[in-house]
């Protein structure tokens, strides 16, 4: 078996790591003890040196007195205002990519509402050295509204409606195709684009590469190192009742020939309109796909009609509301929706309670060792439309959270490679945690019991666990083990062996 991704082994079969088993949602809320999955002694995960985040129950066998907690990003202010004549109130569908030392933001510029793919839609560009202060370089690629001094990098209509680029991480990709993108409508199908520098783009081929979808929002693609293929998550329509905006998935080995679409499933959760999916590999654990989606309520208005008329001149955007949700997937057609609550609420501003607002940008990017940046559309359909910046702890989407009274977490059985165990955690001054390495019979390996682990307190992204004999765990590498965490007034976000 390869060590490039986590694998669950069984004596009679292998469960693909990107299709974890899921229990009924009701089991998430059993008081005190939450039995997530029962495994026999012959079941284990090949963890290798992969970082695992506690964003789902993939690594968890039992929780006693602890729970998974969704953390909300903090709004940090305006990142990019859509203040150029070719941008405007209906700018949308942003993508943020960190390429070496440069942050790149791509978005649709649209001053006034119109049909999808209208002549007013352009692909605009901004960049930053730190993800905080953004500039709009004069690219001098096209003459727009009488000037060549603009930040427009694509005018190919109707693909300017929802142009969605990514940095192709596939080994051996030709330099001319280092960046790729998908864009298109149901009338055109999805077309592929390529670029060497992320600025100058050309079609990969003349014909559409994929046609079986609705496509009328941001359709996202990327290279999956875990699955060793390209993956696309795109807009479809689910026929349940009056119908729902849905997400489907297709795959490809060459970015030109794609599989038939497969509708995504969401477990035992009620159907909702998902306007965008925002699905992409997490940069510190690319086998985990983070999905920051826009959830849409087409007939649920928060603003009184008189107030809505003042804020939004176009009546089509006065009724409806949206927020941002957090999902994950490890491949296949299953999203994990452990949290139905909003990841980012619209907020206190009336301007963010209008129709089709609050769309997260595609791409969670590193800010520094301790923080990540997330960007989200704000004040849609209004003159003050802009992208807002949010910050979140590194790996900090979800944690195993313990109250003051304390609790325990037991992982599923796994093997690992490496000589150290690193965790991302935070405690109060009153709290703390300890770690034990057990065999499959629940007995601690000598020297690795809870009693051998000094209490850990603090707030660190990359803390190395030490027992009485030190931090070395290499003699247990390759053995089937479990970790037992004793946790009090603390959050545990991730772990990895290295």
In whole angstroms, give the CA distance from residue 329 to residue 38.
21
pTM of the model: 0.91
In whole angstroms, give the CA distance from residue 46 to residue 55.
18
Q: Give the residue-averaged pLDDT of 107-126.
A: 96
Per-residue pLDDT for 30 more than 80? no
In whole angstroms, give the CA distance from residue 176 to residue 200.
10
Per-residue pLDDT for 440 more than 50? yes
Per-residue pLDDT for 312 more than 50? yes
Q: Percentage of residues in the chain with pLDDT exceeding 90? A: 91
Do residues 157 and 61 share a domain?
Answer: no
pLDDT at position 188, please? 97
Q: Which residues on adjacent β-strands are paired with residue 276?
A: 294
Per-residue pLDDT for 3 more than 50? no
Domain harbouring 415, CATH code: 2.60.120
User: Closest Cα to residue 398, out of 322, 455, 339, 350?
Assistant: 339
Where does residue 299 fall: left (phi above 0), alpha (psi -120 to 50 degrees), or beta otherwise? alpha
Average pLDDT of the chain is: 92
Domain harbouring 258, CATH code: 2.115.10.20
Per-residue pLDDT for 169 more than 60? yes
List, in order, residues 6 or more apart from 444 with CB less than 8 Å away: 436, 437, 438, 450, 452, 484
Angle at 431 between CA 428 and CA 436, to 5 degrees: 130
Do residues 209 and 356 share a domain?
Answer: yes
SS (H, E, C) the chain: CCCCCCEEECCCCEECCCCCCCCCHHHHHCCCEEECCCCCCCCEEEEECCCEECCCCCCEEEEECCEEEECCCEEEEEEEECCCCCCCCCCEEEEEEEECCEEEEEEEECCCCCCCCCCCCEEEEEEECCCCCEECCCCCCCCECCECCCCEEECCCCHHHCCEEEECCCCCCCHHHCEEEEECCCCCCEEEEEECCCCCEEECCCCCCECCCCCCCCCEEEEECCCCEEEEEEEEEECCCCCEEEEEEEEECCCCCECCCEECECCCCCCCEEEECCEEEECCEEEEEEEEEEEEECCCCCCCHHHHHHHCCCHHHCCCEEEEEEEEECCCCECECCCCCCCECCCCCHHHCCCCCCCECECCEECCCCEEEEEEEECCCCCCCEEEEEEEECCCCEEEEECCCCEEEEECCEEECCCCEEEEEEEEEEEEEEEEEECCCCCECCCCCHHHCCCECCEEEEEECCECCECCCHHHCCCCEEEEEEEEEEEEEEEEEC
List, in order, residues 6 or more apart from 457 with CB less than 8 Å away: 427, 429, 431, 432
Query: Which of 358, 393, 428 is the endpoint of a domain?
Result: 393
pLDDT at position 42, please? 55
Do residues 121 and 187 share a domain?
Answer: yes
Do residues 339 and 438 share a domain?
Answer: no
Cβ(241)–Cβ(383) below 8 Å: no
Q: Tell me if 239 is assigned to some domain.
A: yes
Query: Domain of 338?
Result: 74-393
Q: Tell me if 1 is assigned to some domain.
A: no
Q: Tell me if 342 is assigned to some domain.
A: yes
Do residues 275 and 355 share a domain?
Answer: yes
Do residues 429 and 281 share a domain?
Answer: no
Cβ(34)–Cβ(62) below 8 Å: yes
Cβ(252)–Cβ(260) below 8 Å: no
The number of distinct structural domains making up the chain is 2
Query: Which of 393, 423, 452 is the endpoint of a domain?
Result: 393
Do residues 108 and 174 share a domain?
Answer: yes
Do residues 46 and 94 share a domain?
Answer: no
Residue 23's pLDDT band (cuts 50, 70, 90): very low
Q: Give the residue-averaged pLDDT of 11-40.
A: 33
Cβ(125)–Cβ(137) below 8 Å: yes
pLDDT at position 49, please? 98
Do residues 179 and 206 share a domain?
Answer: yes
Q: Give the residue-averaged pLDDT of 233-259.
A: 97
Q: Which residue has the higher pLDDT, 469 or 380?
A: 380
Q: Tell me if 2 is assigned to some domain.
A: no
Do residues 423 and 465 share a domain?
Answer: yes
In whole angstroms, give the CA distance from residue 202 to residue 189.
17
Q: Which of 34-38, 87-91, 310-314, 369-373 has the lowest mean pLDDT?
A: 34-38
Tokens 């002549």 map to which residue? 119
Q: Which of 32-36, 57-61, 273-277, 429-433 has the lowest mean pLDDT?
A: 32-36
User: Closest Cα to residue 79, out of 457, 458, 373?
Assistant: 373
Per-residue pLDDT for 235 more than 60? yes
Query: Which of 393, 416, 440 is the endpoint of a domain?
Result: 393
Do residues 58 and 165 share a domain?
Answer: no
Q: Tell me if 268 is assigned to some domain.
A: yes
Backbone angles phi, psi at 226, to 5 degrees: -70, -40
Q: Which residues on adjacent β-strands are paired with residue 321?
A: 297
Q: Tell me if 423 is assigned to some domain.
A: yes
Q: Which of 6-20, 136-150, 194-208, 287-301 has the lowest mean pLDDT?
A: 6-20
Do residues 167 and 309 share a domain?
Answer: yes
Per-residue pLDDT for 243 more than 80? yes
Question: 158: cis peptide before it, omega within 30°?
Answer: yes
């Amino acid at each position: 078996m390869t060590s490039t991704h986590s694998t669950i082994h069984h004596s009679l079969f292998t469960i693909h790591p990107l299709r974890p088993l899921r229990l009924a949602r009701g089991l998430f809320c059993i008081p005190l003890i939450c039995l997530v999955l029962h495994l026999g002694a012959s079941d284990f995960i090949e963890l290798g040196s992969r970082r695992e985040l506690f964003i789902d129950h993939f690594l968890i066998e039992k929780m006693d007195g602890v729970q998974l907690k969704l953390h909300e990003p903090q709004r940090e202010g305006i990142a990019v205002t859509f203040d150029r004549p070719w941008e405007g109130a209906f700018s949308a569908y942003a993508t943020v990519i960190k390429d070496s030392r440069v942050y790149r933001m791509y978005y649709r510029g649209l001053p006034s509402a119109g049909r999808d793919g209208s002549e007013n839609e352009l692909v605009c560009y901004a960049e930053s050295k730190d993800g905080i202060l953004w500039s709009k370089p004069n690219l001098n690629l096209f003459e727009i509204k009488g000037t060549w001094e603009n930040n427009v990098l694509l005018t190919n209509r109707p693909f300017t409606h929802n142009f969605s680029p990514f940095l192709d991480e596939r080994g051996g990709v030709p330099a001319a195709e280092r960046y790729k993108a998908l864009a298109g409508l149901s009338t055109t199908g999805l077309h592929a684009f390529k670029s060497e520098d992320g600025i100058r783009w050309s079609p990969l081929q003349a014909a559409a590469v994929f046609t079986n979808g609705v496509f009328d929002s941001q359709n996202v693609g990327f290279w999956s190192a875990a699955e060793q293929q390209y993956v696309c998550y795109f807009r479809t329509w689910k026929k349940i009742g009056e119908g729902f905006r849905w997400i489907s998935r297709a795959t490809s080995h060459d970015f030109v020939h794609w599989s038939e679409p497969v509708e995504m499933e969401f477990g035992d959760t009620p159907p909702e309109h998902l306007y965008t999916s925002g699905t992409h590999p997490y940069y510190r654990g690319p086998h985990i796909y983070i999905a920051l989606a826009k959830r849409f309520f087409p007939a649920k208005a928060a603003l009184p009609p008189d107030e809505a008329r003042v804020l939004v001149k176009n009546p089509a955007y006065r009724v409806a509301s949206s927020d941002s949700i957090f999902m994950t997937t490890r491949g296949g057609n299953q999203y994990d929706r452990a949290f139905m609550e909003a990841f980012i609420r619209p907020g206190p501003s009336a301007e963010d309670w209008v129709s089709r607002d609050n769309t997260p940008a595609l791409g969670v990017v590193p800010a520094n060792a301790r923080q990540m940046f997330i960007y989200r559309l704000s004040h849609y359909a209004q003159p003050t439309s802009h992208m807002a910046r949010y910050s979140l702890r590194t790996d900090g989407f979800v944690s195993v959270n313990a109250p003051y009274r304390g609790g325990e977490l037991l992982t599923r059985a796994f093997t690992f490679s490496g000589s150290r165990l690193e965790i991302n955690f935070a405690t109060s001054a009153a709290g703390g945690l300890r770690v034990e390495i057990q065999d499959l019979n629940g007995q601690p390996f000598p020297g690795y019991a809870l009693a051998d682990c000094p209490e850990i307190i603090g707030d660190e992204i990359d803390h190395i666990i030490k027992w009485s004999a030190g931090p070395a765990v290499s003699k247990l590498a390759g053995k089937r083990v479990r970790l037992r965490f004793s946790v009090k007034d603390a959050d545990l976000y991730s772990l990895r062996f290295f």
